[in-house]
Amino acid sequence: MTNSPIWWGVLLGAVFCFGCAWRLHTKSKHETAVLLLVLGGFLLRLFSANDPFLNPWDERFHALVAKHMMSYPFRPMLYVHPVLPYPPEDWSANHIWLHKQPFALWLMSGSMKLFGTHLLALRLPSVLITTLGIGAMYGLGKRLYHARIGFVAAFLWAIHGMLVELAGGRRATDHVDAVFVALILFGAYWALRAAQQKRIGFALITGLLTGLAVLTKWLPGLIVLPVWALWAIHYRQHSWKSWLGHGLLMTCAVFVVAAPWQIYTHQAFPVEARWEQYYNYLHLFEGLEGHDQPWYFHLNNIRILFGEFIYLPLVWWAWVALRKRSDASRWALLVWIAIPLGFFSFAATKMPAYILISAPAIFLITALAWQHFKIYQYRFGRWRRLVQVFIMGLLLLPVRYSFERLKPLDRDEAAWAKRIEVEGLRQTSPADSVIYFNVPHPIETMFFLGGTAYGYAPAPQVVDSLRGQGYRIIVRE
């Protein structure tokens, strides 16, 4: 984190915006309050995105592939010119890189194409798309319930620690998950409109956004479709024929958006595509890359992601849904949470961000619980003080988590030292002709300097052979 006065001003500006937003919210000026939430959320993400060096997992790999996609948008590559043998199945050292779906990488690539190959341009799409999510979160809550619910849910989205970290590239899966969660939220917003108004255009937009979610991080993006199905049942705007027809239209739109890339990669890069397909399957039954966790990992982790009090709103909402089983809109939120929670709890490979696709539903339920217990706290008699602590905790615990994840007091000398170390290797020769050996940060070296870089030195005869081919060889001692 860059501890300059400018960045401290950015952080304090975000805090000021949030404070003013809450003040306007109490005066029922919800739209103006949400605009301030959006501004504050943008500043918070900008603060998170100012790290001076690429983050190790997984931003550095996404950044390098996105950089190469500036020139080869349909040929995702980690090493453009691999001069040493490599295992095609090793996504951290291979040539053709299909470890992630391409949409988030295209956004990052396009941003760097427009604004230059630097870190802020790399992170800008995640910053912007999760900032837009604040407005979408408000719109979803307002359309489902009330502007007050939408505001509280939007506030929780705006300050959520992991969402802010993902936008800044600081957590594993970084920008891919940031774009993925935002697209699911956008899809859900238009799914609600499609359920409420029975317009083919809204159904088509829902399908296209869901298709982009699939094209960002594969099949979990389909969670939007069962949520829409339950909302459509609840609002009763559809006959069974139109319900099935709109559902089929959405599914076809998803296929049209997501399928061409799958077909293309299996034809153009069959070895890598088949391996990644198999590797996705292995996630279900093997704890890959050190991510083997017990079955209750996600159930336990939601207290960290959403505050220690989150279990009470979830239990309360399940009880509310069971009291009126015919209200499909209540079940829609539960399904939005239960399907990802159940699926990823079953899968052997578990990572904290997997469950974030349920974040919008959890924010809405938290906002509903906050509003309900705030209104009816007087009914709890002598337990009223405990209820008030619960009400405050629903908002303050996520704020605390956000502060912990931002780490505003941490200094970044180590990151700057790595950046200076990499820049010290820069050569005057054309980048494509330079090969760096035995460097401590090979992926980052290729991003900042170009050329080809490895973290080890090959045999001397290999080095001599490469020099004979016209390469400039830099071997770090």
Average pLDDT, the chain: 94
Strand pairing report for 434-437 and 472-475: parallel
CA distances from 44 to 29, 203, 392 (A): 22, 33, 22
Separation of CA 262 from chain center: 21
> Residue 176: which pLDDT band, with cuts at 50, 70 and 90?
very high
Nearest Cα to 297, choosing from 254, 249, 352?
352
Residue 1 has pLDDT above 60, yes or no: no
Phi, psi (degrees; rounded to nearest 5) at 98: -115, 25
Strand pairing report for 452-453 and 472-475: unpaired
Phi, psi (degrees; rounded to nearest 5) at 419: -65, -45
pLDDT score, position 70 = 97
Residues contacting residue 442 through CB under 8 Å, at least 6 positions apart = 436, 453, 454, 455
Which tokens is 80 given? Answer: 């453009």
Q: Kindly report which listed range (22-31, 152-161, 405-414, 451-460) carries the lowest average pLDDT score.
A: 405-414
Q: How far apart are CA 354 and CA 344, in angstroms?
A: 7
Q: How far apart are CA 205 and CA 173, in angstroms?
A: 26
Q: What does the pLDDT look like over 58-94, one tens digit per residue?
A: 899 999 999 999 999 999 999 999 999 999 999 999 9
DSSP annotation of 471 reads: P
Q: What number is the average pLDDT over the span 215-225?
A: 96
CA distances from 269 to 74, 79, 120, 266, 284 (A): 11, 15, 31, 6, 24
Q: What does the pLDDT look like over 292-308, one tens digit per residue?
A: 999 999 999 999 999 99
Q: How far apart are CA 111 and CA 123, in angstroms?
A: 8
Q: How far apart are CA 145 and CA 370, in angstroms?
A: 13
Work out the percent of the chain whose per-residue pLDDT is above 90: 86
Nearest Cα to 223, choosing from 341, 397, 85, 62?
341
DSSP annotation of 295 reads: T
Residue 450 has pLDDT above 70, yes or no: yes
DSSP, collapsed to helix, strand or coil, labels residue 96 as strand
Q: How far apart are CA 343 and CA 358, in angstroms?
A: 12
pLDDT score, position 2 = 55
Comparing 411 with 253, the larger pLDDT belongs to 253
Partners of 474 in the β-ladder? 436
Return the CA Rg of the chain: 24
Find out whether 154 and 160 touch, Cβ atoms under 8 Å. no
Residue 399, CA atoms < 13 Å, CB-side half-sphere: 11
Residue 289 has pLDDT above 70, yes or no: yes
Q: What does the pLDDT look like over 86-126, one tens digit per residue?
A: 999 999 999 999 999 999 999 999 999 999 999 999 999 99
pLDDT score, position 3 = 61
Give the pTM. 0.95
Find the length of the chain: 477
Comparing 381 with 393, the larger pLDDT belongs to 393
Separation of CA 354 from chain center: 9
Residues contacting residue 144 through CB under 8 Å, at least 6 positions apart = 150, 192, 329, 364
Q: What does the pLDDT look like over 268-278, one tens digit per residue?
A: 999 999 999 99
pLDDT score, position 73 = 97
DSSP annotation of 349 reads: B
Axis-axis angle for helices 30-48, 5-26 (nearest 10):
160
> Residue 410: which pLDDT band, with cuts at 50, 70 and 90?
confident
One-letter amino acid at 90 equals D
Q: What does the pLDDT look like over 354-377, one tens digit per residue?
A: 999 999 999 999 999 999 999 998
Find out whether 277 and 261 touch, Cβ atoms under 8 Å. no
